[in-house]
Structure 1
Amino acid sequence: MKSKYVPGLWVLLTKGFNGGLTWKTLPIEVYDEAKKVSSMQCHFLLRHPHSFHLAKFFLKGLKSKNPTLICLALSHVYEFAAEKVEFCASMEPVEFFAHVKNSYAWSSHLTDNAFWAFTYKAFHARQIFLNTALKKGEGDPTKKPFALSLDRFREAFLDAYPLDPTLIHGKDDKICQENIELVEDILSTNKALHAKYFPPHLTHFEGQGDGTDKLLPVKKSEDCDEPSEPITCKYDGVYMSKIPDEELFFYDTECKAKHHDAFIDAVNKGAAGIKNKELAKGAGSVRKYDAFKRHGEQGNADDADESGPSNEGMAAPDNGVEASADNDMPDIKKLKIEDDEVAENMPEDGGIPNIENLRLVDEGEEEASSP
């Protein structure tokens, strides 16, 4: 695909009843001050400040303008998000979904804020569809991967962070004040997480979005409940036939295949950072000990600089190796030198050594003791 033209984001994503997403908010009455008239308008969730950026990198990363392929690629991203839902408790939504998109090469160039904005708008569009496009008691006939992946993430999130106290408190758990308080704490934490990842004003079907989406007039003939495509209740993979073979091949080999776990990379990087920090903290003492050891092995322990800081009272670093005879060489050599000096002053008959050679005496005593 050699064209540099970037179509609108709304052109690159599936719309209509079978897509399972309604990208228009519920109509609201808007008063026009200039014309002094009011009209019914709705927010279009695919036209906002991030739209061009998203469209550009969807196009650049997937090399396709095909809405079916783009939505298929997005479904794999959100399915992966559902697998990593346990990280939501320790990350803000922007950070969590940044790791999700960075796990795929094609989506890694999207900015963190743009992808999070697209995510909560997709959650919003799905809720509008489920609560307005379907009649009460009617099952969802849509089987499109993108819509299903959004449902899968929501279900996984609710399973990991339930809002039902009976799901938090096990049947076999003893009912006592301590357990009641524990359940209340967990419930409070889960509610806070839901407010972050599914903010009501941004994802509830009656919400109007973040206020950045373009307002569109609602025509009287426009009926959001009317399917724009025939209802297909069976997911038989027919939609794949709409994707050109070369584009599908490129996605399978160059996009989908280049998938890694950015969460593991982040954990390993953090662990390596801690390890390097600990090593750096103890690096000085290790170098001093090794230098002393090498100096002792050369037999120059008596020539060591005594002006430096004393190591008295400090335990020797534990390097995981038991003490060997080499470590005791300085003391053994010193003892041997002292024995040699004593031996030199011993008389040949093995008697008492000459005391004058062993201690200092006054000059007067030296003269008196001379023959």
Structure 2
Amino acid sequence: MIDVIILLDQDNAEPAFANALALAFKVARIPLATANADQLADARVVILHSSLRRQSEVSLLASILPEERRKSDTIYVAPCSGRAGLVQAEALGIERIIPSFRPPGDIRTAVQSILNRDLAIHLAGRSPQVAKAIENGDVLYRQIGAAMRADRPLPPEILDATTRAISEATRREGLGGWLDAVKLHHSGTCRHMLSVAGNGSAFGQFLGLHDTDIAMITETCLLHDVGKLFIPITVLEKDGPLSDGEKRLINTHPARGAFALQRGGRSAVEVIQAVRDHHEFLDGSGYPNGIGGSSIGPLTRIVTIADIYSALTEERSYKAAMSPRQALAIMSEMKSKLDARLFTAFRSMVLAPVFTTKRGEQGEGDGVMMPCLKSGRHPLDRANREDAA
């Protein structure tokens, strides 16, 4: 399903706002004269950019777009200052009307309000902790995108709030409940961000890590794909396999993300390194720099495991979601690439039904953990526990 479909008439050139929307949403553009009901049913939001001078097009729109959707999911963007199109749009029952002189940001805001309304409806039956974390994540996703494209620093308040909210949601409601709620978000890219963050946060809790380390894992997972926000959404959420050129473009995201975070000046060095290296493998077969072994820190190793597991278990337009056991089986064949001790612990977490359904107990250790990730110490080394002596 696509986010936005833009209906165009033959009297007007393609509007500039179409490209602006395509930076943030999955957008399709079709001529109004050839549109059909199936195409409109596949879109969450319909934008009508037409002078509506032809009665045949007005009648067609009335027949292929139900009245309820015209009222709730449709935006009329006037292509000119004339009154005729506005009158026709009102007669069709379209309530969201944006004059031609309004900036593209107003159109994006109108689209987002429709998507947010649908998200709020889906979250109505979820716990307050889960709903708050998803809503924070949605705001963070949009603010990060805007900051990256404008070359501004990340918004620290919403990043910190989202980090705390996800940790609280997974701690109180269990990982399974969190991942089920994440599926409700309309954006595949945002779903992946929230899924990785939930898996990473829950893993830190399972390991019994210090709250400082859990927060660092969760924040890094939220930011691990920030470089993808420089890549068109049509490539990121493409239906079907990527071309070689598109794969090369995707593979630039770790370095681009790390560079953007470094320029922003607000992210910890360890977070930036993990964003840059989360596709590197211990055997040196990863990208972008082919590093391996001790050059890959423990924070990166955790994020990599959470990222791979999330990608395998998420449904995509071109593949079905794998079951947890199927994903773990594939990851178990990556022994030379992943940290064996961390993967063994992660596997134990995933297969522990009690942990995924309610508040997890301290998992892999018997002492109180001291912060270890900032200093580069492995979280499973006993020396990191206060009672190790």
Under a length normalisation based on structure 2, what TM-score does the superposition of the two structures give? Answer: 0.21
Q: Which gives a bigger RCO, structure 1 or 2 (Cα 8 Å, sep 6+)?
A: 1
Mark the structure with the bigger radius of gyration. Answer: 1
